Each structure stands twice: as C-alpha cells, then as structure tokens.
Amino acid sequence: MASDKVVQVTDDSFESEVKQSSVPVLIDFWASWCAPCKAIGPLVDELADEFDGQVKICKMNVDDNPVTPGQFGVRGIPTLILFKDGEEFGREVGAQPKSKLEGLLKKAL
C-alpha cells in the first residue's frame, strides 16, 4: 500500500519541495513501465513511514517530468538521489535492498 507520506514531485515543484527543504530529501525517479521501479516502490513507502519527520521522501515520474532527471544525469531508473541542504548528498541506481537505502538516509541525518 502506498504511503500517504510520499510526496509526488514535478519539474515545477522540484525547487520548492526538494531544493528548499529544511530536511534531507530522497527522491525516487521512476516510470510506470519500469519493473525494478515497481519492485522498490513498497520499500520507498516503508522508508517514508519510518523516517517521517526526519527525511522527506518524494517520487518523480520521469515520463511526465523530463527536465529534472536530465539536469541530474538520470540515465537509468530507478535512480534514488538524496539531497541535503539543496545539494546532492548520495545516489543509488537500480533496485537496492532496503538496508542500503536506510544506511544512505542515516548518513544524512
């Protein structure tokens, strides 16, 4: 079940939701046709619940929002980029185990 704590981000809302966030932001670049994206979707939702209030968890559909993924050189999906203080702090490409993503988030706190 999708978490209501996950924020859907667009090219238009990226600046306010991610760059200007007061907490670290993990953004999941995904597409509806991407099987690995669907596989890690539930993990991303779990992280949103577990890190609620500490990290903002966002998703961006790359088909609907081509500008932002291009700016950050997203070539394969899923790509998860962690931003801290508006700057890229870490990146994982491909379906990753939850423990690896948790470790990335904890480093930013």
Which sequence positions are flagged as catalytic? 34, 37
Question: How far is Cα 92 from Cα 81, in angstroms, rounded to an integer?
Answer: 7
Name the burial class of residue 64, with classes exposed (0-12), middle (13-18) and buried (19+) by CB atoms within 10 angstroms of its CB: exposed
Cβ atoms of residues 5 and 51 within 8 Å: no
The tokens describing 13, both together, are 């809302």
